[in-house]
Chains A and B, each alone.
Chain A
Amino acid sequence: MAAPVPPGAPRPGANSQPPPPRNVNPNYQTNPNSLADNMQNLNLNRPVSMPNSGPRPSPFGQQPPFPQSGGSAGFPGALPPMARPGPPPGMMGRPAVPPTGPPQSALPANVPPGRPLGQPSGHSSPFGSRPPPGSLSSSTGGAVLPSSAFPSSGAPSGGVAPPMPGARPNVFMSSPPLTGPAAPLSRAPAGPLSNGPPAIVSGALPGASQFPLAPSASQPPVGPPLTMMSARAPAQAPTMRSVLGSPAVTSPPVQPMPSASPFSAVPQARPPPPGSPYGPQTWPMQPQQGAQAPPIPGSTQAQPPRMFGMPQPPTNQAMTTIPPAIGQPGAPLSGPSKIDPNQIPRPIPIPSSSPIVYETRQGNSANPPPPATSDYVVRDTGNCSPRYMRCTINQIPCTADLLTTSSMQLALLVQPMALPHPSEDPIQVVDFGESGPVRCSRCKGYINPFMKFIDQGRKFICNLCGFTDETPRDYHCNLGPDGRRRDADERPELCRGAVEFVASKEYMVRDPMPAVYFFLIDVSMNAIQTGATAAACSAINQVISDLPEGPRTLVGIATFDSTIHFYNLKRALQQPLMLIVPDIQDVYTPLETDVIVQLSECRQHLELLLENIPTMFQSSTTAESCFGAAIKASYLAMKSTGGKLLVFQSVMPSVGIGALSSREAEGRTNISAGEKEAHKLLLPADKILKTMAIEFAEYQVCVDVFVTTQTYVDIASISVIPRTTGGQVYYYYPFSAVSDSAKLYNDLRWNITRPQGFEAVMRVRCSQGIQVQDYSGNFCKRIPTDIDLPGIDCDKCILVTLKHDDKLQDGSECAFQCALLYTTVYGQRRIRVTNLSLPCTNMLSNLFRSADLDTQFACLLKRAAIEIPTSPLVQVREQVTNLCINILFSYRKFCATVSSSGQLILPEALKLLPLYTLALMKSTGLRNDGRIDDRSFWFNYVSSLSTPLAVPLVYPRMFAIHNLSTKEGDESVLPPIIPLSSEHVSDDGIYFLENGEDALIYFGSSVDSSILQQLFGFTSVDEAPAQFVIQQYDNPLSKKFNDVVNVVRRQRCSYLRLTLCKKGDPSGMLFFSCMVEDKNASGPSYVEFLVHIHRQIQMKMS
């Protein structure tokens, strides 16, 4: 369980590093108080956790220190200790930082780390528990536990839950809060085991927070308790905590509750500053699917968990049965036969009504971020929000060897324009006037909170390259006693991880470009007849009003079939003038000026035109499409400004520049070649489009393609253009005018209205010792260090892989700075700078503890996607599996305490890695039975996919909607999440499954017709229409269902493409192919897969 994570390490650190407190502490202290309040809430959790801890202790027992501590700590005790541990961990983490932690504030300081730890480790559980805590206070641990329970995941049965809850919950509860601390502790112990304790300690703190749970869990204490990793984690956690708590925090903790509170606070601590209340909530979110906000209370927890099988109760049971099997640390699998499918690790959704508050740094140390999928509010205290940038490991290995040993990837996932939480402070804009932002004169790094000012502030040391720069005279400021500039807190660039600088002239090669939107619509026969053209026109027509007002917004429109039709929208004309470019081998723009005009000047013409287009081409019998030529011509029209080119394409480009052939069909007829080089179909057919795309990028034209088709269109080739120009592909297959029009509109609307920038250049700089190896995502790269983004928006994420070029110093921090120079839609030139400074470590266990599962998986996913078109599928699948096995093996070999070889031990932080790996292997992209276009779309979609959406893509969320509760007072809109296993799909149920892009609605064969009637307006499954549009009927169930869908849409920033699935029908097959835990043609069942991994690890061990 996550709980185990106990950040023992931190504490040690704290202990060891008590020395120099930092200024920060004071704040923390105050926080603690507030935290204390929270703590009470947490208390509830603790009790719950306690139970679990109880059982676990024994396992821990094996590991003397922790277990004991855990045991001794007892819930109450444990909590307090935990709390302290937290602080220490913080300290620990800081070790490098030392000063902060130790001092009185230490505790608070620690707390923060503890929290992180708690979160991470507990991920779901701890957090979940915490948030609940607040609510729980009343309901008490019971509820809380569940959340924490997730760790125990094992416990599926609701039945068990009730009884268990009470006890375990407490345990868990404690554990969660404890978790934070616990983790450190565990590490501490672990530390000793693997590395020197101290070292661990430090590492533990930060890492601990998240990882702790897992790792710590994995560590001796946890292991034993729960068979499953998750299960153990919690168990350990408690123990750990107690242990940790006692050591470090002891005194403060005295009052278990208070202390606990502090700790919990601790976790909250970070939050505490903002508001203690948030803190708790935050955590709850942590569970990966934190999305479900509403149901925070214990009650909800209890239920949801059960649903998922995660509930603690099961845990207990699992414990009993499984314990033997489990190794100390991870969740061991004693033997395949013994595995209880209900107890294997699964993502635990922790519903929460309010988001977690997360401070990016606490006690002058990086605070590991909550899971990407959770609902959290960031307070930028030096590091940027994890939404903008997060690292696969929240501690940076000092050496390349260490990283290699861990088998993990070191990479950043950068999403520079990511949508903030509504409650977050907006990024502050700093204007340095004409001189532009202060930068390092050597590496050109931008001023940031980690630049160290020396010599009375006259100089500063660049945290990226280490060079000592003179402070510009007008930027000079004296240092305070703490060594910081006195004005540091007033200057966003010195106290915030993310700021935006107003770009001076120096950053402009020309005036900032206007916001240009050029719509290009397929009007070939097919597009007209399927209604795609009409849908596109209507979508555009509706969206026009959402375009920014003002003279800087320019629009243009063109249509194409076998020729390209531009339209002169100038107001002076009585009606639009159609300009046809017939030479599709060598295109050009038909007008220099009036093809793209100010929106305000052409609104009426545009609307009229959009209304007319579908009828104007109604009788067209032109089947050909000159897509390539059309975008080239449009580009030429936009060349002088750049801008967004939105293309609506319905058939395969068959004529003109970049015409494509039906490779898919050829591949089928030529079977031998097709099989041998199947992946070649996923590569662009030729270089023409790529060359074009690079040209587009050079002139800042960003292309988005909306593919509304019934046939193969060779997305592999087409997608090169959006990928290279910072755009994206939208894929509607098979396009249905009835059901897809709304999504098309919504996609288009979001595309245009979402926060975005133009003509951007991005570069990531790293501290000495680390350098950027490569970027991947949707952009154009002309020089190795920078990437050009004609368009960048809040949904686009870029994978930045890193490599060592030198050793890093243990205890130091490694900084990453992403600078994005872009133009806003309002024509301001800005530089968005996001900074992340992470501690370095020499401890392998720290790496595991601080591993970020979501980020790691996103990285894995993206790398697999890159491989797909160039390598045989078998090879890609093998690589994916091996990566998973290698990581687990590394952990098993170097971090886990000795245990029965029959146990599969998983690091707490990565306990879901096997599940996600399995899901990935069964995903569209890695199956070989999929349509070529589906696969092409899949890996293109992945290339810019953000971290929070990575997991859902392969491991969708499934809800039952036939029994949506409609009772009053239930705040949670989303029903519990159901594991993706056909066992959980009953014949009389209706299920809603979504992956962030598509949604399936599945009807069992014996669904109650009244429910059908209520939800869909028909009474029999047979009446289900092929083209479906969700409607709201006047009944609570339907209303609730619509609410659910809307909440999901909002969460995903996607309208979701709805498909009705019926049993025994191809659509039903589609649905069941999403049941990734089932055994099917594309892979083994989850349990089998775990067994397979276990075997592989065993083989490697021997």
Chain B
Amino acid sequence: MSEMANMDSEGIDAVRMTWNVWPRTKVEASKCVIPLAASIAPIRPHTDIPMLPYAPLRCKTCSAVLNAFARVDFMAKIWICPFCYQRNHFPPHYAMISETNLPGELYPQYTTVQYALQSFPDPNNSNATQLPPVFVFVLDTCMIEEELEFVKSALKQAIGLLPEHALVGFVSFGTQVQVHELGFSDMSKVYVFRGSKEISREQVLEQLGLGSAGRRPTVGYPKVLQNGYANTGVNRFLLPASDCEYTLDTLLDELQTDQWPVQAGHRASRCTGVALSVSAGLLAACLPGTGARIIALVGGPCTEGPGTIVSKDLSEPVRSHKDLDKDAAPYFKKAVKFYDSIAKQLVSQGHVLDLFASALDQVGVAEMKVAVERTGGLVVLAESFGHSVFKDSFKRVFEDGEHSLGLCFNGMLEINCSKDIKIQGVIGPCTSLEKKGPNVADTVIGEGNTTAWKMCGLNKSTSLTVLFDLSSTERSNVPGAANSQFYLQFLTSYQDPEGKTMLRVTTVTRQWVDSTVSSEELLRGFDQETAAVVMARVTSLKMETEEGFDATRWLDRNLIRLCSKFGDYRKDDPSSFTLNPCFSLFPQFMFNLRRSQFVQVFNNSPDETAYFRMLLNRENITNAAVMIQPSLISYSFNSLPQPALLDVASISADRILLLDSYFSIVVFHGMTIAQWRNMGYQNQPEHQAFAELLQAPQADAQMIIQERFPVPRLVVCDQHGSQARFLLAKLNPSATYNNSSDIAAGSDIIFTDDVSLQVFFEHLQRLAVQS
């Protein structure tokens, strides 16, 4: 289960598919129960990917990019597009091409290549080869002093980490929004927008003096020209990090919590919605194509103006899942609609919204999800700005080097696929560009109706799930054996952290299989991990979008159907039921998915659910699988660390368990271990081994933490301690108070009425074999 071990399962292409062989017909496909889907990490780096310093060749009819699967006629200098079979001539600069002199994209092993493209041509300024990235920090000031200090210091640190040429803007908000004009040298200067009034992009531009019509000359601003920004006036607000670091430091030092009075028994007046509107409006003044992100640091719910999620009256709690279910959340829909409009604006501008929410109560992530997800923004939910979940995650965003997130901008994903393959949509951090084509399916899942998607923000680990369908027209295998292969090509253009424009082309091929003939091949092509994750994503999506959707039943039914179809059994004989190894793990995934925070939402707030789902949707398969089914590693004196069953039975007094459920990492000391530790044996030289044992899970936890964004919460606990619940909640309740008699000493029980995996399996077998 180790993450490292699975890295290569995605290979150079970073594509994983639920089915690696596809049935030929739509009917057959639907019988497969698990949808045809691919999870791709569009820009996951891989050392083997070649960088090509020239522009790709595109098919003149379908505009697919020349790739390793194209048939090339070296004599005629012609290539045949594998998607549409169009014959394309090589342009003159490919004249040297020959079987022994291949361009990078034609090397068979280079199914993924990367092109470094000319940056966006700027007719006015041919020198401007690269647009510096823009970071606009949007800081909530409605918080207690202590929190504000935390967040200030985090901000200062972040600004110090920014590349010198990156442009920085600063917006603070509370009851009102304050846009800080960092370029005003005479004194601190802010533009103040009221929090209670919705404001359009045009108004923001006009009022900031950035409007095309009323562009006001800057006052007292040193006339520094930079990269073509000078003429927009926006450089009053956005300054290179190196220029404004001092200003910002001073400004942050002086920044106080919101000064507007808060009535007793009321929430602070916080206009997150308008703050985001204004920030988006400010960025609208940037040159098109500029990579920019709005980094919102929010400490509480929006209570003022558009985007409000709850009234100021403290007696009214923030909406719960129950409220949403019963349609008793009066602000919800309006707020979502508002944030959706912000999302649209940001997408049209190509800018990103990152959300860092730290509060004990909800802050409205559920409502803002749409804006964050559509723009490919980052999201981190923590309890406090002083908490490592926030602090370390935030720092990671700006850090360079090995653990850098590799934040990129202005991504666009295009998918080309073979005839008869239809794209239903994409689940993940992107927005449909509504680019219609023959490969667009009629039914839409997620961001659909298109063959191109915008990813305003993306990073190394960003993943998307593409859902496919097959053409419903009954196909006569016209091309015959020639098309036993089908092709998918993912084209991702983006602007890398240095501002260079890149295009990454991944072309994959898979086999058609006539499932009516051979289901064996189909079986072998099943990727159960990916399937589980896709099911989780689809379930989440359905829960959000379909009224009254019963996720558990839907999952159960699908699992039963799957088992019925692919299991080996005698009808009506549960005991005869066996599953092909390719499927064997899947039911357990489903069992855990049913119990996970993605399906059992009522244990969480809507904010948490939204947060979990966003991460579920954007993480790679391995990480997503961990979210569904945490990994558990056991440490003991007797053996090397080894994976343990995710079962309460794994608890033992003399073991340390390390649970990785993605969002939290639990180091769980068995009773005996805890006692020893409390007695300080680890400090005694003779108990070096014990010290090492104690140290090992911690070190592994740190390794995971370093890799992961957002940084997970680390819980160190002891058996029977109160924090132990973080572990117990994830374990299979094989031992509960109902059957506590037969448990091993030193183990534990879970107080729950939930069914255990065993019971689940029993039912599954019974139902699967039913005729």
Which single residue of chain B is at the shortest CB-CB distance from A582?
A: B207
Stretch at the interface among A183-191, A483-491, A586-594, A870-878: A586-594
Show the binding face of B for A, using Cβ within 8 Å.
Answer: 175-176, 178, 181, 184, 186-194, 197, 199, 203, 206-209, 214, 216-217, 219-220, 250, 254, 256, 259-261
Which single residue of chain A is at the shortest CB-CB distance from B269?
A: A592
Q: A307 interface residue, CB < 8 Å from B?
A: no
B193 and A582: CB pair below 8 A?
yes
In the complex, chain B residues whose CB is within 8 Å of the CB of A563: 191, 207, 209
Stretch at the interface among A158-166, A616-624, A795-803: A616-624
Show the binding face of A for B, using Cβ within 8 Å.
Answer: 562-563, 565-566, 572-583, 586, 588, 590-594, 609, 612, 615-622
B260 and A592: CB pair below 8 A?
yes
Which single residue of chain B is at the shortest CB-CB distance from A573?
A: B254
**How many residue pairs between the two chains, A and B, have CB atoms under 8 Å in the bound complex?**
93
Q: A574-B250, A574-B254, A616-B220 are in contact. Are A583 and B188 (CB under 8 A)?
A: no
In the complex, chain A residues whose CB is within 8 Å of the CB of B203: 583
In the complex, chain A residues whose CB is within 8 Å of the CB of B188: 573, 575-578
In the complex, chain B residues whose CB is within 8 Å of the CB of A612: 186-187
B189 and A580: CB pair below 8 A?
yes
Least CB distance from B183 to A in Å reads 13
Closest 4 CB pairs of A and B: A582-B207, A590-B192, A578-B189, A580-B191
Q: List 21 A-B contacts (CB under 8 A).
A: A563-B191, A565-B189, A573-B188, A575-B188, A576-B187, A577-B254, A579-B189, A579-B190, A579-B192, A580-B181, A581-B191, A582-B191, A583-B207, A590-B176, A590-B190, A592-B259, A593-B259, A616-B219, A618-B220, A620-B219, A622-B217
Compute how far the CA of A581 lies from the CA of B207 in the bound complex, rounded to whole angstroms: 8
Contact partner, A588, options B187, B194, B259, Cβ 8 Å: B194
B190 and A577: CB pair below 8 A?
yes
A572 and B254: CB pair below 8 A?
yes
Given contacts A573-B188, A579-B178, A612-B186, 11 further A-B contacts (CB under 8 A): A576-B188, A577-B254, A578-B189, A583-B193, A583-B207, A586-B197, A593-B260, A616-B219, A617-B219, A621-B216, A622-B216
Q: A563-B207, A572-B254, A619-B217 are in contact. Are A580 and B259 (CB under 8 A)?
A: no
In the complex, chain B residues whose CB is within 8 Å of the CB of A622: 216-217, 219
Which single residue of chain A is at the shortest CB-CB distance from B223?
A: A619
In the complex, chain A residues whose CB is within 8 Å of the CB of B197: 583, 586
Contact partner, B187, options A562, A577, A582, A583, Cβ 8 Å: A577
Compute how far the CA of A328 lies from the CA of B250 in the bound complex, rounded to whole angstroms: 87
Contact partner, B259, options A594, A609, A616, Cβ 8 Å: A594
Compute how far the CA of A580 lies from the CA of B181 in the bound complex, rounded to whole angstroms: 10
Least CB distance from A958 to B in Å reads 48
Least CB distance from A394 to B in Å reads 55
- Among B184, B259, B260, chain A packs the most CB atoms within 10 A around the CB of B259
In the complex, chain B residues whose CB is within 8 Å of the CB of A594: 259
In the complex, chain A residues whose CB is within 8 Å of the CB of B189: 565, 577-580
A575 and B217: CB pair below 8 A?
no
In the complex, chain B residues whose CB is within 8 Å of the CB of A592: 175, 259-261
Which single residue of chain B is at the shortest CB-CB distance from A619?
A: B219
In the complex, chain B residues whose CB is within 8 Å of the CB of A620: 217, 219
Which single residue of chain B is at the shortest CB-CB distance from A587?
A: B194
In the complex, chain A residues whose CB is within 8 Å of the CB of B178: 579, 590
Q: A580-B191, A617-B219 are in contact. Are A588 and B184 (CB under 8 A)?
A: no
A580 and B192: CB pair below 8 A?
yes
Least CB distance from B619 to A in Å reads 41
Least CB distance from B320 to A in Å reads 32
Contact partner, A578, options B190, B206, B254, B259, Cβ 8 Å: B190
In the complex, chain B residues whose CB is within 8 Å of the CB of A609: 187
In the complex, chain B residues whose CB is within 8 Å of the CB of A577: 187-190, 254
B176 and A575: CB pair below 8 A?
no
Compute how far the CA of A579 lies from the CA of B188 in the bound complex, rounded to whole angstroms: 8
Which single residue of chain A is at the shortest CB-CB distance from B184?
A: A578
- Among B181, B187, B209, B260, chain A packs the most CB atoms within 10 A around the CB of B187
Compute how far the CA of A573 lies from the CA of B209 in the bound complex, rounded to whole angstroms: 26
Compute how far the CA of A241 lies from the CA of B178 in the bound complex, rounded to whole angstroms: 80
In the complex, chain A residues whose CB is within 8 Å of the CB of B199: 583
Least CB distance from A625 to B in Å reads 13
In the complex, chain A residues whose CB is within 8 Å of the CB of B254: 572-574, 577
Which single residue of chain B is at the shortest CB-CB distance from A567?
A: B187
Least CB distance from A524 to B in Å reads 11
Least CB distance from A218 to B in Å reads 68
A591 and B217: CB pair below 8 A?
no
In the complex, chain A residues whose CB is within 8 Å of the CB of B175: 592
In the complex, chain A residues whose CB is within 8 Å of the CB of B214: 562
Compute how far the CA of A566 lies from the CA of B191 in the bound complex, rounded to whole angstroms: 10
Which single residue of chain B is at the shortest CB-CB distance from A581?
A: B192
Contact partner, B194, options A583, A616, A617, Cβ 8 Å: A583
Least CB distance from A123 to B in Å reads 59
In the complex, chain A residues whose CB is within 8 Å of the CB of B181: 580
Compute how far the CA of A574 lies from the CA of B251 in the bound complex, rounded to whole angstroms: 10
Least CB distance from B77 to A in Å reads 61
In the complex, chain A residues whose CB is within 8 Å of the CB of B193: 582-583
Q: A574-B254, A578-B189, A582-B191 are in contact. Are A562 and B216 (CB under 8 A)?
A: yes
Which single residue of chain A is at the shortest CB-CB distance from B207?
A: A582
Compute how far the CA of A563 lies from the CA of B259 in the bound complex, rounded to whole angstroms: 22
Compute how far the CA of A590 lies from the CA of B180 in the bound complex, rounded to whole angstroms: 13
Least CB distance from A681 to B in Å reads 29
Q: A575-B188, A582-B193 are in contact. Are A617 and B216 (CB under 8 A)?
A: no
Compute how far the CA of A574 lies from the CA of B189 in the bound complex, rounded to whole angstroms: 13
In the complex, chain A residues whose CB is within 8 Å of the CB of B250: 574
Least CB distance from A404 to B in Å reads 57
Contact partner, A619, options B190, B208, B220, B259, Cβ 8 Å: B220
Compute how far the CA of A575 lies from the CA of B187 in the bound complex, rounded to whole angstroms: 7
Q: A578-B187, A580-B192, A582-B191 are in contact. Are A591 and B207 (CB under 8 A)?
A: no
Least CB distance from B266 to A in Å reads 14
Compute how far the CA of A756 lies from the CA of B596 in the bound complex, rounded to whole angstroms: 73
A616 and B186: CB pair below 8 A?
yes
Compute how far the CA of A102 lies from the CA of B256 in the bound complex, rounded to whole angstroms: 79
Compute how far the CA of A580 lies from the CA of B189 in the bound complex, rounded to whole angstroms: 7
Compute how far the CA of A621 lies from the CA of B207 in the bound complex, rounded to whole angstroms: 16
Least CB distance from A655 to B in Å reads 9
Least CB distance from A164 to B in Å reads 72
Compute how far the CA of A575 lies from the CA of B189 in the bound complex, rounded to whole angstroms: 10
- Among A574, A578, A588, A616, chain B packs the most CB atoms within 10 A around the CB of A578
Which single residue of chain A is at the shortest CB-CB distance from B250?
A: A574
In the complex, chain A residues whose CB is within 8 Å of the CB of B260: 591-593
Compute how far the CA of A583 lies from the CA of B204 in the bound complex, rounded to whole angstroms: 9
Least CB distance from B510 to A in Å reads 56
Least CB distance from A363 to B in Å reads 62
Compute how far the CA of A565 lies from the CA of B190 in the bound complex, rounded to whole angstroms: 9
Compute how far the CA of A583 lies from the CA of B209 in the bound complex, rounded to whole angstroms: 11
Least CB distance from A621 to B in Å reads 5
In the complex, chain A residues whose CB is within 8 Å of the CB of B186: 612, 615-616
Which single residue of chain A is at the shortest CB-CB distance from B221?
A: A619
In the complex, chain B residues whose CB is within 8 Å of the CB of A618: 220
A621 and B217: CB pair below 8 A?
yes
In the complex, chain B residues whose CB is within 8 Å of the CB of A565: 189
Which single residue of chain A is at the shortest CB-CB distance from B199?
A: A583
Compute how far the CA of A593 lies from the CA of B189 in the bound complex, rounded to whole angstroms: 17
In the complex, chain B residues whose CB is within 8 Å of the CB of A581: 191-192
Which single residue of chain B is at the shortest CB-CB distance from A590?
A: B192
B220 and A617: CB pair below 8 A?
yes
Compute how far the CA of A590 lies from the CA of B250 in the bound complex, rounded to whole angstroms: 20
Least CB distance from A607 to B in Å reads 14
In the complex, chain A residues whose CB is within 8 Å of the CB of B184: 578
Compute how far the CA of A583 lies from the CA of B217 in the bound complex, rounded to whole angstroms: 17
Compute how far the CA of A576 lies from the CA of B199 in the bound complex, rounded to whole angstroms: 28
Compute how far the CA of A563 lies from the CA of B190 in the bound complex, rounded to whole angstroms: 12
Least CB distance from A90 to B in Å reads 64
Compute how far the CA of A6 lies from the CA of B190 in the bound complex, rounded to whole angstroms: 74
- Among B192, B194, B197, B217, chain A packs the most CB atoms within 10 A around the CB of B192
